[in-house]
Chains A and B, each alone.
Chain A
Amino acid sequence: MTAAADEDRDTIDKVTNGDYDAFETLVNKYEGRIYRHLRKLVGDNQQAEDLLQETFLNAYKGLAGFSGTSAFSTWLFRIATNNALMFLRKNRPEIVEYIDGIASAGDVEIVPGSPEFVSTPLEILLSLEGRKKIEEAIDDLPALYRSVLVLRDVEGFSIKEVSVIMETSVAAIKSRLHRARNAVRATLGSYYRERKLSSLRRDPIET
């Protein structure tokens, strides 16, 4: 992350010195990840596109104030996350305020691991159908949990960076991540168990 942050620093300096093309370099580098994050958070392509534009415009205007104490990517994702949560609080407050069973029940229920899930080859888990299931399992999470899981496990930010992006304590991030991962794990485990059972019903010889 440090090397990447340094690399961005040079580009940022060019932008603040009036080089607009350098800003487009940053946009090209991060637009895919920011768009993916926004789509996951708001669940709507058009809205994600509006927020994508708003996020980069905010970044451009605020770039002179970027201190560099965190990586540029952390700072950018913080703007995107704030914009998305602000939009959800205004337009779909039930999604942000909604704290379902996995949040309020104290200890999250840990369902047993599914051998059918674990033994499924990666090419099936990451097939078109498999990817759709991953998307659906993540989409089922409440927004704040979804955001933490996407930032940590999809975008690869550290726990500390996620806590900076979400403006939440490290302990709260860890707790949300634990619950989010286990909820997704339970959904996928149950799907692949059922998938295996269905295939056995169709073809009892298969083991």
Chain B
Amino acid sequence: MKQCKDFCKYLSDFLDGEVGTDEYKLIEEHLEVCSPCAMTYESLKTTVDICSKGLSDDVPDSVRVRLKEFLRSHCKQDHCEIE
């Protein structure tokens, strides 16, 4: 008989669809009847969801400008052609 901790080990893979069909069904059924595991899974989903939305990919203008200048000076010289 599997215990909750056995299911919890696979929740991350379950979320990614990285478990086999049989395991998927077993975990799905367990989550329907076990509210603590369902809460664990919900909090895992929330974590992944906010990680995907919560980190800005803004680059400060100064960093952007220095990057372009650096690359132009290093890439456009004869001695630094594409190898």
Contacts and interface: CB of A to CB of B under 8 A. Distances in A.
Nearest to A40: B55
B52 A153 contact: yes
Contact of A57 (B39, B40, B47, B75): B75
A53 B70 contact: yes
A49 B43 contact: no
Contact of B55 (A23, A56, A125, A154): A154
A126 B36 contact: no
Given A15-B82, A61-B82, A159-B18, A184 B39 contact: no
B13 A178 contact: yes
Interface of B: 5, 8-9, 11-13, 16, 18, 36, 38-44, 46-48, 50-59, 63-64, 66-68, 70-72, 74-76, 80, 82-83
Chain B's interface: helix, strand, loop or mixed, by majority?
helix
A27 B67 CA distance: 9
Chain A's interface: helix, strand, loop or mixed, by majority?
helix
Contacts, number: 136
A31 B67 contact: yes
B71 A113 contact: no
A107 B42 contact: no
11 contacts: A20-B72, A31-B67, A52-B63, A57-B75, A126-B50, A126-B54, A149-B51, A154-B51, A177-B16, A181-B44, A184-B51
Contact of A36 (B12, B57, B72, B82): B57
A43 to B, nearest CB: 13
A82 interface: no
Nearest to A63: B82
